[in-house]
Structure 1
Amino acid sequence: MLPAYGLYTHIQANQTRSRLLIAGLFGLVLILAFALALVARATSLSLPRGYPPILSSYLAAALQDMLWVGPLAFLATGLWLLIAYRFHGAMIDRVTGGRLVTREEAPRLYALLENLCIARGLPMPKLGIVDDPALNAYATGLNPSQYAVTVTSGLMAALTDAEMEAVFAHELTHIRNDDVRTMMIAVVVAGIFAFVGEIVFRSGLDLGRASGERKNKGGALPALLIGVALIGLVWLLSQVIRFALSRTREYVADAGAVELTKNPDALITALLKISGRGELPGVPSGVMELCVDNPRSGFKDFLATHPPIDDRIAALTRYAGGRAPASAAVVAPWGRG
């Protein structure tokens, strides 16, 4: 996180970086297409007429296949993105159990969000609630007609008005910075890599049998191994890009929340209360990445999609003038309405 005077410059730099990372994901689509073409050539022992059965022949044949496999891969990716664009909000609410609420159903919660939007000239998103004791929130939507901010009932019970406003401001910053669109693209494209990788590696027994049959078939075996290795590498790089996007945007959203509310202390105490209590059981990892906190950290935090809460609080304290209290006892709930 940067000091307040550098916030917009930091947002622009982060958006540029995000676009480059997303472009990198689409570059990986081409590599995946080549790897699949190479695996198909090697397993079928199929080469164009006149090509000797050596590794370079399989590589050259796979490159030729890219003339139609590449466009097909982009078409399939675009189609899946189109489906996600149209239905992603409903799909996320389906797995989390989220439901939209009206002003009459949650007047105080609705008023907090509405007042924040009016004061800052932001479009008013829909408001949703997940009936779960976990402390978390997330934003969805790829255009103004889809924007929604959803909070858990546990978060409503644990946070004060000021803290809830800070969480709303965090999620509104994600919407304002197009983070939801960026993460949807990243999750969907990375999900394609994971799906293809799982199919390939689940068929490992067949590939092993095929490789045994190809020991005396010239370049087929090394071509097969290169193709499988490329699929694994593409999956790994897609995860690194996805996690890099998630980590950076959380710092920017925290800074944006302070810029909107002028109250870093409220965000600090909200994060302290949320820390370690945000797990939504049964919710896919791709959806947890959209939440204000994702407690799923992975191997020694290397695969964590969110920075540690302590690091986020340290940034708020250092750059936004916030003060971290010694403890963050949960105050009396401010009610269901």
Structure 2
Amino acid sequence: MSIQTECFNFCKQIWKLSYRAEVIALIHSLGQRSGFGELMQNFVGHQFLTPLYIHYNQSDFIDNTSGIRLPTVLHQLSEKELSFLLKCHFLLNFINEQCVQKIVEKFPELKPSLNPYERFMSLDVSNFSINDCIDPRMIQPLVESFHKHEACQKILNEIPEDLVRLNANVLPENIKILFGGLFNSIREMPSWVRDIPEKNTNEYWAYCLIRCAVCINSILRNINQLIYQAFLREQLVVFNEDNIIYIGKHQSNFVCEDVELTIQAQEETIPCLPFDIVLMKYTSGKNEVKTFANIISLRFSIGIGNQGMTQGFDLRVVDESLNPYPALVSTSR
């Protein structure tokens, strides 16, 4: 089965966890606390690591180096609250590590470039084991599906070992440049990102390695995000013909596909933030569109007449492996 299918199957196991209700209450409570709520909305995309990062770096935020106006003292997390957050973060990071384990065993140098949590913040979670969080057998189908992904297979079986080690040190910076280009404009990317080198040269394999690492990192980010959303609710936000009032730009480049939508904001609309994964279902011309996507950005506006409040979204489509950049691998064949 696809990574997407196995991830959704795993999310159903999250719904059954005995401690899930306490996690929901905790995240909701943090969002209501003065200072904490504002910061959580400004540091999205890191799941349970976001409140932990805020907690352990309070002095930076209170000194206003973040540029966000905050109270003099942020609410301290209790030991029980910290334990819940660390436990949930341990679960997500454990899945990441299991997914990249085969690659890291062969190329330890690549670990910081593959796991999205690796370079953000290091936490001591040695007090936890996976059995404290979930039956580890529930994770295996997702991990096995991930190992079969084209990007993993290419690094393990095709890219020369000496090239991997030669490029390991520069990989994080190259990935940062590539991510920056993907989120802005293809014209902003350097030529070594856009142009495919001659096959089977050192430059070609370095090109493949960078692209595979970006895909692996991106897929893991989306796996983490879907599981995080499963902790908080049992349904995805759906954009369909019941709430879409305008379909704007629908554009693709050689690596990704972006869609611009405006919806009618309704009382029952589930709140969502950048990096959340949503389902889009609508008709475009003669085509029925049904696909999942990441929220890249959102904005609110006051409608005219009876239109009321509207929300605009910039979305990035993900494929059945939860990869927003599938062409990065396919163009490196």
Report the TM range for the smaller structure's normalisation: under 0.3
Structure with more of its chain in helix, by fraction:
1
Q: TM-score, normalised by structure 2?
A: 0.26
> Highest relative contact order (Cα 8 Å, sep 6+), 1 or 2?
1
Structure whose CA Rg is larger: 1
TM-score (norm 1): 0.25
Structure number with higher strand proportion: 2
